[in-house]
């Protein structure tokens, strides 16, 4: 159950700390004081979306923190869903929304997401809002209640996973079939590209090497003339550079010790002669390379032109063309594999559908066994809510063709309707056709009481579940809420004193204005304060001696019913 709630800068709430315990807690206060913001904070703990315009004026963000105390089995279930270990049976959830629209979620101090939080919310807290009774008119909501009551949610979830997988497989098959021509044309294009690039036999750096070679060949005559002239100057026996360096080196031999400069000059002469001799040998190789026949030269030019043409055609550099070739090979392989995969995918889809239909039939059979128990238990609860003669039945129907795929949707094969008759002699009809607003509220409460007996949810929050009913029925509703509070933590926002008197604790939501700033606060009432609050609720304005006496009598009567 929720043992601590902290709300900061949400709506009119600047800061509220709330430590609820076991039993029924009633929240009272005038309209517009901020009770809805307290409920919104609990919705945030469930991972529900929250608008950033709900942030308190002047604040940059709103923060809600909730501490839940979990028993051993519940801690284990939540831990499995989160993939963590719940220490000491305590779970801390924090939600934060900012003006910029960003939202943060932390679970036990770890960053998480609202989606993860929504997956564990049904085990922690359930919020039944003012419009919740109207949602009961929807067939899918009624089916959810049936599955929750019968413990069929795991079976239904398994079906939903398999159903979505089958739909995705079908979409993949359709995509492959519909795009067959496009894929065939694409394959032909890829084959042409691959053939063209493979024939080119591209290598990294080939273009740069060819360009350098051809540039050198273009300057062949001038290069050879320059080399010839250099050879004459360097290799001339009488007065050539090599001869001069050799003479210098020999003549200086023996004088190195006289001065460092002499040693340096002799060493430089020797080193330079060695370098020049090596360079002349390399030049001889270059002269041989430059002596190229016209055919070889033309071949190099055509090779370079071919590379340049490919680069311009595919708008890629030589290096990227090599990478593009590999990409084309991979894509062609995948396209070919997809075509070969089609027969196997079709067979796999048929097996999926057979398995789905078999599982959905099992789910339907299980639902049939649960319907009578759910409607029977709910009808018993309605007797305590002034509907002693009411009858409830359940109708499980196959889905229509337009609402299903292969006769199924993600919930199974069925459409479920709760049928209702409030008075003897009247036929049972779908709830949406016959129930009044007050009757809907009571049916919703009866269902929640019935579900509470099988649900693992520790905290139930009701927002004006007593709407559309009078004072007499309000007392019955309050008693029913108190019964639920015997095994669950229940919080109820109410404007009916007949409901409020059944609370084990009562809190008043107050609105105050200080220095032009409006704030909402939460005050737990003492016994005498409860008497005054309920008396004011009876009068609608202020307590009187008569209303105070009536309030005490109501509290005493509610207390005696509990002790009975």
- Helix H, strand E, coil C: the string for 410-422 is CCECEEEEEEEEC
DSSP secondary structure letters along 291-343: ---HHHHHHHHHHHHHHHHHHHHHT--HHHHHHHHHHHHHHHHHHHHHHHHHH
Q: According to the model, what pLDDT value does residue 409 have? A: 92
Q: Which residues are bridge partners to 95 per DSSP?
A: 64, 105
**CB atoms inside a 10 Å sphere around CB 461:** 24
What stretch of H or E contains 463?
strand 459-463
On whether the CB atoms of residues 62 and 54 are closer than 8 A, the answer is yes
Mean pLDDT score of the chain:
83
Q: How confident is the model at residue 53, as a pLDDT?
A: 85
Domain ranges of the chain: 153-364
Using the structure block, give the residue that is written with the tokens 């693992």: 456
Identify the sign of the CA torsion 33, 39, 44, 50.
Answer: negative
The encoded tokens of residue 241 equal 């550079």
b or e along 97-133 (b: 16 or more beta carbons within 10 Å of the residue's beta carbon)? beeeeebebebbeeebebebbeebbebbbbbbbeebb
Contact of 386 with 443, CB cutoff 8 Å = no
pLDDT at 169 > cutoff 80: yes
Token duo for residue 516: 């032009």
**pLDDT for position 94:** 94
pLDDT of amino acid 65: 95
Predicted local distance difference test score (pLDDT) of residue 561: 73
Contact 96, 77 (CB under 8 A): no
Q: Quote the CA–CA distance of 24 and 518 in Å, as a whole number.
A: 29
Question: Kindly report the CA angle at 83 between 360 and 158, in degrees rounded to 5?
Answer: 5
Place of tokens 């002699």: 425
CA 353 – CA 240 distance, rounded (Å): 96
Residue 1 near residue 68 (C-beta atoms within 8 A): yes
Compute the distance between CA of residue 142 and CA of residue 414 in angstroms, rounded to an integer: 11
**Do the Cβ atoms of 92 and 43 come closer than 8 Å?**
no
- The pLDDT of residue 456 is 67
Average pLDDT over residues 43-65: 89
Condensed to tens digits (0 to 9), the pLDDT of residues 70-88 reads 888 888 888 888 888 888 8
Q: Give the H or E element holding residue 178.
A: helix 153-178
Query: What pLDDT shows up at residue 318?
Result: 84
pTM metric for this prediction: 0.62
What pLDDT, in 10s, does the model give residues 421-439?
A: 888 878 888 887 876 777 7
β partners of residue 94: 65, 106
What is the bridge-based pairing of β-strands 459-463 and 489-493? parallel
Q: What percent of the chain has pLDDT over 90?
A: 20
The tens digit of pLDDT for each residue in 496-543 reads 999 999 999 999 998 888 877 888 888 999 999 999 999 988 887 777
Burial of 274-300, coded b for 16+ CB within 10 Å and e otherwise, reads eebeeeeeebeeeeeeeeeeeeeeeeb
Environment class of residue 520 by beta-carbon count within 10 Å: exposed (0-12), middle (13-18) or buried (19+)? buried
User: Is the pLDDT higher at 203 or at 284?
Assistant: 203
- Does residue 236 surpass a pLDDT of 60? yes
CB 9 within 8 A of CB 55: yes
Give the span between the Cα atoms of 39 and 43, in whole angstroms.
6
Lowest mean pLDDT among 28-37, 386-395, 477-486, 491-500: 28-37
Element (H, E) at 66: strand 61-69
Q: pLDDT per residue over 299-347, tens digit each? A: 777 888 888 888 888 888 888 888 888 989 888 887 766 556 778 888 8
SS3 annotation, 218-281: HCHHHHHHHHHHHHHHHHCCCCCHHHHHHHHHHHCCCCHHHCHHHHHHHHHHHHHHHHHHHHHH
Least confident stretch, 216-220, 395-399, 543-547: 216-220
- Phi and psi at residue 8, in whole multiples of 5°? -130, 130
Most confident residue range from 32-46, 369-383, 470-484: 369-383
User: In terms of Cα–Cα distance, which of 465, 511, 509, 525 is closest to 490?
Assistant: 465
Look at residue 257 and tell me whether its pLDDT is greater than 60.
yes
Average pLDDT over residues 163-170: 91
Q: For 175, list phi and psi in degrees, rounded to 5.
A: -60, -45
Measuring CA to CA, which residue among 308, 291, 287 is closest to residue 206? 308
Kindly tell me if the per-residue pLDDT of 412 is higher than 90.
Answer: yes
């Amino acid at each position: 159950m929720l043992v601590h709630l902290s709300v900061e800068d949400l709506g009119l709430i600047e800061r509220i700390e709330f430590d609820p315990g076991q039993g029924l807690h009633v929240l009272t206060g005038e309209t517009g004081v901020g009770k809805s913001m307290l409920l919104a904070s609990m919705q945030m703990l469930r991972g529900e979306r929250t608008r950033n315009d709900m942030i308190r004026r002047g604040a940059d963000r709103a923060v809600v923190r909730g501490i839940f105390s979990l028993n051993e089995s519940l801690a284990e279930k939540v831990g499995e869903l989160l993939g963590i270990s719940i220490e000491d049976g305590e779970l801390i959830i924090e939600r934060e929304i900012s003006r910029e629209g960003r939202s943060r979620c932390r679970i036990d101090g770890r960053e998480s997401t609202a989606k993860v939080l929504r997956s564990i919310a049904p085990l922690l807290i359930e919020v039944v809002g003012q419009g919740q009774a109207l949602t009961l008119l929807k067939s899918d909501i009624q089916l959810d209640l049936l599955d929750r009551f019968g413990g069929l949610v795991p079976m239904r979830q398994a079906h939903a996973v398999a159903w979505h997988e089958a739909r995705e497989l079908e979409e993949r098959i359709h995509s492959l079939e519909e795009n067959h021509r496009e894929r065939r044309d694409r394959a032909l294009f890829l084959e042409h590209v691959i053939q063209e690039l493979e024939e080119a036999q591209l290598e990294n750096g080939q273009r740069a090497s060819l360009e350098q070679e051809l540039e050198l060949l273009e300057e062949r005559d001038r290069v050879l003339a320059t080399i010839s002239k250099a050879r004459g100057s360097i290799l001339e026996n009488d007065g050539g550079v090599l001869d001069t360096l050799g003479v210098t080196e020999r003549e200086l031999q023996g004088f190195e010790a006289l001065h460092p400069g002499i040693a340096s000059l002799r060493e430089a002469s020797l080193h330079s002669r060695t370098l020049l001799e090596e360079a002349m040998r390399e030049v001889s190789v270059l002269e041989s390379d430059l002596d190229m026949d016209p055919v070889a030269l033309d071949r190099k030019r055509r090779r370079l032109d071919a590379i340049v043409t490919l680069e311009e055609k595919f708008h890629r550099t030589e290096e990227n063309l090599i990478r593009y070739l590999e990409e084309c090979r991979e894509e062609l392989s995948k396209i070919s594999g997809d075509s070969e995969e089609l027969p196997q995918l079709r067979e796999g889809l048929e097996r999926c559908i057979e398995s789905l239909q078999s599982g959905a039939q099992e789910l339907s059979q299980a639902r049939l066994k649960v319907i009578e128990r759910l409607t029977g238990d709910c009808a018993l609860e309605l007797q305590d809510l002034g509907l002693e003669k009411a009858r409830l039945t359940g109708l499980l129907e196959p889905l229509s063709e337009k609402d299903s795929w292969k006769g199924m949707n993600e919930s199974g094969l069925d459409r479920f309707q709760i049928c209702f008759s409030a008075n003897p002699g009247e036929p049972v009809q779908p709830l949406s056709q016959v129930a009044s607003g007050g009757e809907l509220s009571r049916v919703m409460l009866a269902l929640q009481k019935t579900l509470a007996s099988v649900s693992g949810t520790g905290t139930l929050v009701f927002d004006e579940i007593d709407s559309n009913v009078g004072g007499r029925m309000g007392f019955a509703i309050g008693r029913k809420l108190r019964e639920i509070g015997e095994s669950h933590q229940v919080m109820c926002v109410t404007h009916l004193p007949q409901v409020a008197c059944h609370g084990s604790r009562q809190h008043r939501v107050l609105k105050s204005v200080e220095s032009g700033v409006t704030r909402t606060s939460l005050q737990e009432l003492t016994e005498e304060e409860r008497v005054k609050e309920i008396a004011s609720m009876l009068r609608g304005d202020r307590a009187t001696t008569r209303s105070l006496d009536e309030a005490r009598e109501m509290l005493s009567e509610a207390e005696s019913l509990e002790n009975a």
